């Protein structure tokens, strides 16, 4: 893979400033999207709408999430254009992949919009796309210990679930390790909280929302390629790093893997013959 077009996800779903926030929320939940590109009436890219921006203003309720419940009355009729639309990095389809990924990492962006010469979105390049490449792109000798983040943000199982949502937004993270008495109980994601229809008045605790699924984890000596494979297969955005005694040693995120991939691509460019 040499260009952005080789790795990007084509034909991104877009909304315009007049799209109701309720519609944006339903689309995000139904399709499992973290971001929606916002375009003008002529199709030109304006920015990106994040699920943090949407679900800090309301949530979906009902058997199938058909009801939009605004946390404040003023947000009931809000549209995509009424809330924060963040600037988004862009790239052209024929741009070298390494340059695009490097820019994405430098700016700490989960998503890069791929646009044509007219500024119309034709694809997106996400951390999820890059993780697929990391399965074969990071050095075979590299281990989790070299890239994992030692500083871990945790939440106790008995804390209110809404507190977990606020912690994620404040720390700009999408996952928290859930503990009880210092022991790892699982991983909770922002999507888990959205699915559980958590709001400021919710009485649910983290324990009520936590999905009791097997914990997908790694240890410091796990090869990075194996970690990337686990993320892709299990569709998770972070992996707890555990010692042999089960103690928490860190966390490996998609961003960590993308950083390792970018470093390797740069080394290959500087030293093509190894």
214 DSSP assignment: P
Measured between alpha carbons, how far is 264 from 140 in angstroms, rounded to an integer? 11
- Is the pLDDT reported for residue 184 higher than 70? yes
State both tokens at 253: 């995120």
Measured between alpha carbons, how far is 251 from 243 in angstroms, rounded to an integer? 12
Helix (H) / strand (E) containing 179: strand 175-180
* CATH fold match for the domains 4-137 and 144-260: yes
State both tokens at 61: 């309720």
Averaged pLDDT for residues 5-11: 93
Across the chain, which distance is largest between two alpha carbons, in Å? 62
Q: Where are the domains of the chain?
A: 4-137, 144-260
The three-class DSSP label of residue 6 is: helix
Percent of the chain at pLDDT > 90 equals 57
- Is the pLDDT reported for residue 251 higher than 70? yes
User: What CATH superfamily classification does 144-260 receive?
Assistant: CBS-domain (3.10.580.10)
Averaged pLDDT for residues 204-224: 93
Q: Tokens 């600037």 sit at which residue?
A: 87
CB 60 within 8 A of CB 66: yes
The three-class DSSP label of residue 219 is: coil
Measured between alpha carbons, how far is 97 from 265 in angstroms, rounded to an integer? 9
Question: What would the pLDDT profile of 16-55 be if each residue is shown by its tens digit?
Answer: 999 999 999 999 999 989 999 999 999 999 999 999 889 8
CB 185 within 8 A of CB 47: no
CB 202 within 8 A of CB 160: yes
What strands, in cross-sheet order, belong to the sheet with 154-156?
Answer: 154-156, 175-180, 183-189
> For 32-41, 168-177, 258-267, which range has the lowest pLDDT when averaged over its residues?
258-267
**What pLDDT was estimated at residue 264?**
80
What is the domain class of 4-137 according to CATH?
alpha beta
Q: Where are the alpha helices (DSSP H) in the chain?
A: 4-7, 21-31, 51-55, 97-106, 127-137, 161-171, 190-195, 206-209, 224-234, 254-270
Question: What would the pLDDT profile of 55-93 be if each residue is shown by its tens digit?
Answer: 888 888 876 677 888 888 888 899 999 987 788 899 999
**What pLDDT was estimated at residue 265?**
72
Mean of per-residue pLDDT scores for the chain: 89
């Amino acid at each position: 893979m040499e260009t952005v077009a080789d790795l990007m996800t084509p034909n991104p779903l877009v909304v315009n400033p007049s799209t109701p926030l309720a519609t944006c929320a339903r689309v995000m939940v139904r399709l499992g999207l973290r971001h929606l590109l916002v375009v003008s009436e002529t199709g030109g890219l304006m920015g990106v709408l994040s699920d943090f921006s949407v679900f800090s203003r309301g949530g979906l309720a009902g058997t199938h999430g058909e009801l939009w419940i605004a946390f404040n009355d003023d947000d009931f009729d809000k549209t995509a254009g009424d809330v924060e639309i963040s600037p988004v990095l862009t790239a052209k389809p024929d741009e070298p992949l390494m340059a695009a990924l490097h820019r994405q990492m430098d700016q700490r962006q989960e998503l890069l919009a791929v646009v044509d010469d007219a500024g119309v979105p034709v694809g997106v390049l996400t951390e999820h796309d890059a993780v697929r490449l990391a399965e074969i792109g990071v050095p075979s000798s590299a281990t989790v210990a070299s890239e994992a983040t030692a500083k871990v943000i945790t939440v106790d199982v008995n804390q209110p679930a809404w507190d977990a949502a606020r912690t994620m937004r404040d720390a700009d993270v999408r996952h928290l390790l859930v503990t009880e008495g210092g022991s790892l109980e699982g991983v909770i994601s922002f999507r888990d909280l959205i699915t559980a229809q958590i709001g400021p008045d919710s009485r649910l605790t983290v324990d009520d929302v936590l999905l009791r699924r097997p914990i997908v984890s790694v240890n410091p000596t796990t090869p990075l390629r194996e970690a990337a494979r686990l993320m892709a297969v299990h569709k998770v955005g972070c992996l707890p790093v555990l010692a042999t005694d089960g103690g928490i040693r860190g966390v490996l995120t998609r961003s960590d893997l993308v950083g390792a991939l970018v470093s390797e691509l740069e080394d290959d460019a500087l030293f093509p013959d190894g």
